[in-house]
Structure 1
Amino acid sequence: MMGLLVLRERLKEFYARYGIYITPVIKFIFSFLAFSLMNKNIGFMTKLTEPLIPLVLALVCSFLPYGAISFVAACFMLAHLSGISLEVTLVMAVFILVVGLLYYGFQPGDSYLLVLTPVFFLLKIPYAIPLIVGLSGGIVSVIPVGCGVFIYFTLLYVKQNAGVLTNDLSTDEMQKFMQLMKSLLANKLMLIMVLAFVLALLIVVIIKGLSMDYSWVVAIIAGTIAQLSVIFIGDITADVSVSVLGLFGGVLVSLILAGIYTFFVFTVDYTRTEYVQFEDDDYYYYVKAVPKLTVSTPDVKVQKINARKLQRPQR
C-alpha cells in the first residue's frame, strides 16, 4: 500500500510539473481513438477513412478545449452518416443541435461525455461511465450520458441496417424518416441502458455525498448493483438479449477503473476521523473531518564516489 501511495504522489508531482505537455497528449489520444473507432464502425465516407485524416484531426484537437473536440467529432460523425442516409444525418444533426442549445450553452464542461460514452460502448466497458461520472460530476451529468447512449445506439442501428438504408428506394423521404424514428424509439435495449445509466449515476452522486465512512466505495458498489438490476429486469420483462459474459466482463473492468479513479482522487484515512462542533448566533455546526491519506515521496540522492588509485612514492 505504501508503494502505491508513493507512486500516486510521484505521478501527481509529474503531472503538476509537466501538465502543460501531458494535457495535449491526453486530448490527442482521446480524439484519435474516437475518430479511429468511428472510421472502423461507421466508415461510410471512404475519403475520411484514410489513416492520415484521424491523425491530422487528432493533432488539431489536441490544442482545442473539450467542447470544441466534441463539435469536431460531431461533424466527423455527421459526414460519415451523410454517406449512407440523409434521414439519419438529419435526425442526428437535430438531436445534437437541441442538446447543444438546451444544455451546453449553460454547462459546456461535460461535452466530452457525448463522445466518451459511445467510445466506452465500443470498447465494451460502458458500465464505467455512470460510476466515474457520478464520482466526479453531479446530477446534471445524466443529460450528456443519456444522450451519449442514444448516439451509440443510433450508430449501431445504422451499422446493422446499412444495406436497407442505402437500397430502400421504394419509399419516400418522409416515410423513411418516420420508420427510422419508430425503430430508434422502439429500441428496448437502448431504453434499458439509458435507464440503467441514469439510475446508477444518480445513486453514485447521492451516496458519495453522504457523511458515512467509505462512501465512495459504497457508491461504486451500489451503482454497479443498480445497473445489473435494471439490465436483468429488462432482460426478463422486455425480452432483451444481453450477453452475460460480456456484461460481467464489462462490469468487472468498470469496477477496476472506478477503483483506480477513487485511489487517485479520494484516498482518505478514516482511522483519524475527527468530529467538530461549534456555533454562531444563528446555527449549530457539526463537522466531520476526514484527513487525506498522503505520504511524502522519498528524496533519494545518489552520490558518486570515484576511487582514486594510490600512487607509490618514487624513490
Structure 2
Amino acid sequence: MDNLYVLRGEIQQFYAKNSKYINKALQFIVALLTFYMINHNMGFMKLLSNPLITLGLSVICAFLPMIVTVLAAAVLILVQMTAMSVGIMAVTAVIFLIMFIFYLRFSPKTALVVLLTPLAFMLKIPYVIPIAFGLVGTPVYAVPIIFGTIVFYMTDYLKEAASSLKGEGAAGMISQVTSYAQQVFQNKEMIVSVFAFIIVLLLVYTVRRMAINYAWKTAVAAGAVAGIAIVFAGSMMLGVKVSYLELILGNIAAVIVGLVLEFLFFSVDYSRCESVQYEDDEYYYYVKAVPKIVVSAPEKTVKRINKRGESQETEIIDTEEIRKKNAREQSVREPEEAVPEKRKRAPKKKSSKIEGNTEHLLLTKVLREELNLDNDDNEK
C-alpha cells in the first residue's frame, strides 16, 4: 500500500511540473470526443463531419478557455440541424439560449461538466458524473449536469428520428417542431435520469462532508445505491424501459471512479484520528482531527561500476552513511569555527636609509681604529 501512496506523490509532483501541458492535452481530448459524438449522431452535413475539420476544431479549442468549447459544440449542433430542418434548429437555439442564461448565472466555471455528461452517456456510465462531482464539487454542479443530460437526449433523439422528421412546406415544419418539442420535454427516460442525478449529487455531497469515519466511501456507496433505487422506482412508475445490466455496471464504474478520487484527493488515516475540545468566551468547540496519509519516497542507493582494463571496481554509495558522515563533519567543524583567529603577523618593516648609513659609519670607525688613522690625525 505504501508503494501506491508513493506513486500518488510522484503523480502529483509530475502534474505540478507539467500541469499546463497536461491540461491542454486533456482539453483537446474532451473537445475531440465531443465533436466526434456530435458528428456521429447528427451527421446531416457531410462537410462538417469530415475528420480533418473535427481534428482542427479540437486543436483550436484546446488553446482557448473551456467555455469556448461549449459554445463551439452548440454552434456545431445548430449547423448540423440546419441541414435537416430550420424549424428544429430554431427551437434548439431557443433551448440553448435559455440554458446559457441560467448557466452563466449559476455556474460559469463548470463548462467541463456540460461536456463530460453527454460523453458519459455515450460510454454507458452516466452515473460517474453525479458521484464524481458530488465528491469534488458543490450542489451548483447540478445545473450543468442537467444541461448536459438534455443535450444528450436531444442529439440521441435526432439520430433515431431523423428520417421521420423530414417534411415539406409549412405544415411539415410545424409537424417537425411539435414532434421534436414533445420528445425533448416529455421524454420520461430523461426526466428519470435528471431527477436521479440531482438526488445522487446532493446525497454524495452531503454524506462526504459529514464528520464520520470513511465519509467518502460511504458517500460513494450511498450514491450508487440511491441511483439504482431511483431509476428502478422511476421506471416502474412511469413505464420506462431500462437496461438493468447497464445500470448496475454503470454504477459499479461510478464506485470505482469514486474510490480513485478518494485515493487522489482524500487519503486519511482514521486509525489515528483525535477529538479536540476547546472554548472561548462565547462557544465550546468540538473538533475531530484526522491526519492525512503521507509517505515519503525511499532514498535510492547509487552503485557505480568502473571498468579499468580487466579489473572491475565497484563502489557502493549509501545515502544513509553519507548523511551520517556529513553530520559528523558538521559537528567537528562547528568547534573549530568557534576558535578565535590567530593574530596576524605584523608586516616586516622595510629597512630605512638611516639604518643603512649607521652600519656604514660603524664599519668606517672600526677600520680607522685598526689602521691607527685616528692617532695619526692627532699627532698631526
Is TM-score (shorter-chain normalized) higher than 0.5? yes
Question: 1:300 Cα deviation (Å)?
Answer: 2.6
Please identify, of 52-61 and 124-133, the stretch whose mean Cα deviation from structure 2 is larger: 52-61
Matching residue of 1:98: 98
Q: CA deviation at 1:211?
A: 0.6
- Identify if the C-alpha distance between structure 1 residues 303 and 169 changes in structure 2 by more than 3 Å, giving closer, same or farther: farther
Q: Which moved more, 1:289-298 or 1:224-233?
A: 289-298
Please report how far the alpha carbon of residue 184 of structure 1 lies from its aligned counterpart in structure 2 after TM superposition: 1.8
| Structure label with greater radius of gyration | 2
- Cα deviation 1:48-78 (Å, max 9, x = unaligned): 1111112111111111122222112221222
Structure 1 residues 88-111: Cα deviation after superposition (integer angstroms, max 9, x where no partner): 322322222222222324531112
Q: Secondary structure at the match of 2:302?
A: coil
Question: Could you list the runs of 5+ residues in structure 2 that have no partner in the other structure?
Answer: 312-380
8 Å CA contact 2:88–2:176 kept in 1: the answer is no
1 or 2 for the larger relative contact order (CA 8 Å, sep ≥6)?
Answer: 1
Whether 1:280 aligns to 2:258 is: no
Matched residues in 1 for 2:60 and 2:9: separation?
31
Distance 1:77 1:304, change over 3 A: farther
Q: How does 1:122-133 map to 2 (within 5 A)?
A: 122-133=122-133
1:136 aligns to 2:136 (yes or no): yes
- CA 1:156 to 1:191, structure 2 compared with 1: closer, same or farther past 3 Å? same
Moved over 4 A (4+): none
Q: CA offsets per residue over residues 212-252 of structure 1, 9 Å max, x none?
A: 11111111111111111111112212111111222222222
Judge conservation of contact 1:115–1:148 (CA < 8 Å) in 2: yes
Contact 1:104 1:111 in 2 (8 A): no
Amino-acid identity (%) = 37
Pairs within 5 Å for 1:210-225 = 210-225=210-225
Residue of structure 2 in register with 1:180 after alignment: 180
Would you say the 8 A contact 1:150–1:190 is kept in 2? yes
Aligned to 1:275, the other structure's residue is in SS state strand
Q: TM-score, normalised by structure 2?
A: 0.78
* SS at 1:93 equivalent: helix
Which AA in structure 2 matches 1:83?
A: A
Q: Which amino acid aligns with 1:37?
A: M
**Once the two structures are superposed, what CA deviation does each residue of 1:246-302 show, in whole Å capped at 9, x if it has no partner?**
222222222212211121111111111111122222222211111111211223353
Match of 1:293 in 2: 293
Distance (whole Å) between structure 2 residues aligned to residue 144 and residue 310 of structure 1: 71
- Paired residues in the alignment total 311
Shift of 1:192: 0.4
Paired position in structure 1 for 2:149: 149
The one-letter code of the counterpart of 2:7 is L
Mind listing any 5+ residue stretches in structure 1 that lack a counterpart? none
Aligned letter for 1:165? L
In 2, Cα distance between the equivalents of 1:128 and 1:143? 16
Answer with 56-65 or 207-216: which moved more. 56-65
